[in-house]
Structure 1
């Protein structure tokens, strides 16, 4: 069992890079080594400057499902670190260049919240008259019950869900054309009571077909680094190179998965657009950025919409490379997979989750392991790379279920159906069906404390009593090796630290499913 990648032809540890890059991959090899060097620099920054530093997420524990504002408030009151000083300098430089009256700060994840508040802190200290607004995925998910007035020492307004309608209403308010009571999905601090108020005048959202084309105007697109931290060719897509981000549709057309936040607007409200309009947007983005790589960041891009998009791209002769998230459903026939490949599709990612038909049904995923095998194989046969989102720790999942799941995953790699994967530990959220109806899944929720700030994850008690953390180490270790083509002929039980039962999965289950 390998903790890290070792070249099977050179197990004494000479050089794994020729296996990954071949004789001609000199630039890729240099990028990988430079990325490893950057990771070393990050370690130094953590040790010498700020223990919370990370490139991808920064001080996320201060805000992720954090019921109280105290930890973040204390961090913001502390002397600035070297990174804080750089961020302040960049913020003031931007203010000097653009002289804005209104600044919008988007926080997609908890790991961007501390930086967002430091930016707002710098703005208010230098130019208190500038109006600041907080929004983004973190707000939409975790601050829906915001009751902490100190947030408004930094931000004048906090808006929920799609930003277009709340911001149009806010702009009218700031221009004196709309009263405060007619704001849309907006938190404010009441000046009389110093309490947080949520104001929402129900108005229709801007249709997806009318929201306009994303723009990167003003960003130095040639100045961003492409990093290559993992040798797997599919895995590198997330960080190597720059992709124009675009959505095929708003929300999820399926919106049934019980682990997902389907009660939230960005998932639960599905709204599509014509393929001709999507290709118009693609052409406009290419004209602006000069780059033809696209990442469709839908929760799950609809098969019908992807077919129409592919046909429109081919009809117009628009040559792009694209990849995106899908559901591994039977609509993705070999014919459709080939059509998508012809239109420029180079990779897809989708959820196999727990790789157990019983648990997939409990999740209301709408797929089976056999079906996933056939769909992923069809994509691979069309020359499209496939990444599988995997999950462990779902309610009622047993040790035996986990061993079976790893055997399914091993066979999928062995058959060439998937090239990459990632195991996520299931987290129960208050917005998911599991969090809303735990009794249907045989679990009991751990009571939450009083919430004044962030609310999302909620602990639960599963009567199976499985140590999923211990199992997760084995799953991730096995998967890392599988992604490098290693250990595919090894009994899956050898990856686990403790003795586990023999898999109940037939040895050639996936191979037989592909022949059926």
Structure 2
């Protein structure tokens, strides 16, 4: 039995999607003949082809786009004559102004391609309807999109479905990671039902697992477009692998297979030269689950406990990646929190064997990252950037968040890692229940006194995750009312919240606009940079 797993668009076109590739790798370890297809990258290639953009430009003119907008489109199209594209040239990342210009042209190319489908808005890893009440968190809109012509159909019918038909696929799986992929996923299922009606269709992936974890129903339309829906836990995978191999495979076998090596993309799959990055970016998870699982605003406790890859498997995989990419590769380690022990092993393997590899990923603010010797090992072992979940510099809020670190430790970590030459991308969270201006000012003070040690900032407003401790026991955090962000968005993993008459998100947004983003320190860190690729590119800047 030949199983094909598809990553639907749109995802960031700078690296392969991981969820389909990782599931394919795990199933191969269990004896299932499985391949993955990055349908998102292929869709970008199709959408931004010269012929398609020429048609889009005619459509933009017919629709009456302004002369300024048409000029921007034509300038963006002219950039395609440069090979390789600017976003694949290392020199582009040495100049933030050049990088921002290249990003602007790329966004204009996507905007131009969207003019062939004027009822939709397209962006980098984004899709939306021009009607604001139609959202990808709505099962009704997903059904409507599946049954109507949309921006993905031409690629699906002219390239992807014929490729699947020619491959002899016996089963086709669609792997969802992000909500914005859902419209394409159900559109693909609708078209597969018509073009390949005898091939079973499976829906799975991290987003499906999250839906199931918080009891969001996957029954009824549009989910009936799939023959089977799997959450991807060990029991699901054991059952699927047993059916496809006609042998009995236990959940213990699945758990063991997951620890054999990092879960990553098959290195011989994919068109690596298509991705918009200065070197190949190889996504990988060094294990499953979070080792902390105590943040009160996070639902990770609903999923399986940490199951790390073996050290021997990690070493072997690093050598395989280095052999495949002798001129260098960036490892994007996608774990929600990377354990210091595995980072030490990874870094030592890279440095001792002089492997041409760099890496970046999320870490907690831990004591190890304030240790100069430990951090030196990471820097020598290819650490390009750490994505640090600092969140706040308020002692009180950090305790409420369950973060397990102090502002003092965060400052030590930032100083130590920056001194070792490691970029720091700092993640800050605002709009927490009971948050005051004084709390926010403490966070701003941290940024201002650590400005030389911070390479990038991701300042976000809290969307309350369903199933998180804060959502399950709102009164403990002063939350008096919880409600959806929008009507008919029953598939959303997040909700809005109020504390009495106060709305923390609105209050925080106002403070950010009036104070935080006007700080000279914050402005110097951001520096006019536009990067919708976020950390995927920030590790090079």
Q: Is the 8 A contact 1:221 1:289 kept in 2?
A: no
What is the rounded CA distance, in whole Å, between the counterparts of 1:402 and 1:374 in structure 2? 20
Partner of 2:58: none
Question: Which digits, 9 at most, give the CA deviation of each residue in 1:25-53, with x for residues without a partner?
Answer: 46856665333112123333445624231
**Normalising to structure 2: TM-score of the pair?**
0.70
Partner of 2:255: 206
**Number of corresponding residues:** 421
Question: Which digits, 9 at most, give the CA deviation of each residue in 1:203-234, with x for residues without a partner?
Answer: 774233236653143311112223xxxxxxxx
Partner of 2:302: 264
Residue 42, structure 1, aligned to residue 42, structure 2: no
What is the rounded CA distance, in whole Å, between the counterparts of 2:503 and 2:270 in structure 1? 50
1:441 to partner: Cα distance: 0.7
1:465 to partner: Cα distance: 4.3
Partner of 1:309: 346
- Residues 1:28 and 1:98: Cα distance change in structure 2 (over 3 Å): farther
Answer 1 or 2: which has greater helix percent. Answer: 2
Partner of 1:191: none
Q: Secondary structure at the match of 1:331?
A: helix
What is the rounded CA distance, in whole Å, between the counterparts of 2:433 and 2:289 in structure 1? 26
1:258 to partner: Cα distance: 0.8
Q: Is the 8 A contact 2:290 2:337 kept in 1?
A: yes
1:119 to partner: Cα distance: 1.7
Bigger radius of gyration: 1
1:168 to partner: Cα distance: 4.1
Match of 2:165 among 80, 96, 99: 96
After the TM superposition, which of the residue ranges 277-286 and 377-386 deviates more from structure 2? 277-286
What is the rounded CA distance, in whole Å, between the counterparts of 2:225 and 2:284 in structure 1? 30
What is the rounded CA distance, in whole Å, between the counterparts of 1:27 and 1:296 in structure 2? 21
Partner of 1:145: 216
Q: Is the 8 A contact 1:388 1:420 kept in 2?
A: yes
Match of 1:470 among 490, 504, 510: 510
- Residues 1:62 and 1:246: Cα distance change in structure 2 (over 3 Å): farther
Question: Which digits, 9 at most, give the CA deviation of each residue in 1:348-403, with x for residues without a partner?
Answer: 11111122111011111011111111111111111111110111001110123223
What is the rounded CA distance, in whole Å, between the counterparts of 2:299 and 2:268 in structure 1? 32
Q: Secondary structure at the match of 2:336?
A: coil
Give the 5 Å matches for 1:450-461: 454-461=491-498
What is the rounded CA distance, in whole Å, between the counterparts of 1:88 and 1:456 in structure 2? 31
- In structure 1, runs of 5+ residues without a counterpart are 1-23, 179-183, 185-200, 227-239, 487-516
Residue 287, structure 1, aligned to residue 327, structure 2: no
Partner of 1:482: 524
- Residues 1:445 and 1:176: Cα distance change in structure 2 (over 3 Å): farther
Answer 1 or 2: which has greater strand percent. Answer: 2
Residue 436, structure 1, aligned to residue 486, structure 2: no
Residue 132, structure 1, aligned to residue 201, structure 2: yes
Give the 5 Å matches for 1:378-397: 378-397=416-435
- Residues 1:331 and 1:213: Cα distance change in structure 2 (over 3 Å): closer
Match of 2:411 among 373, 396, 404: 373
Give the 5 Å matches for 1:99-498: 99-143=168-212, 144-162=215-233, 165-173=235-243, 205-207=254-256, 208-210=258-260, 214=264, 215-226=266-277, 241-265=279-303, 268-288=304-324, 291-332=328-369, 333-413=371-451, 416-446=452-482, 454-463=491-500, 464-466=502-504, 467-474=507-514, 475-476=516-517, 478=519, 481-484=523-526
What is the rounded CA distance, in whole Å, between the counterparts of 1:211 and 1:276 in structure 2? 8
- Cα root mean square deviation, aligned: 3.1
Q: Secondary structure at the match of 1:459?
A: strand
- Residues 1:151 and 1:389: Cα distance change in structure 2 (over 3 Å): same
Q: Is the 8 A contact 2:427 2:459 kept in 1?
A: yes
What is the rounded CA distance, in whole Å, between the counterparts of 1:33 and 1:451 in structure 2? 38
What is the rounded CA distance, in whole Å, between the counterparts of 2:195 and 2:235 in structure 1? 29
What is the rounded CA distance, in whole Å, between the counterparts of 1:135 and 1:26 in structure 2? 37
Partner of 1:76: 146
- In structure 2, runs of 5+ residues without a counterpart are 1-89, 529-541
**Normalising to structure 1: TM-score of the pair?**
0.74
- Residues 1:274 and 1:115: Cα distance change in structure 2 (over 3 Å): same
What is the rounded CA distance, in whole Å, between the counterparts of 1:203 and 1:146 in structure 2? 28
Q: Secondary structure at the match of 1:59?
A: strand
What is the rounded CA distance, in whole Å, between the counterparts of 1:83 and 1:34 in structure 2? 25
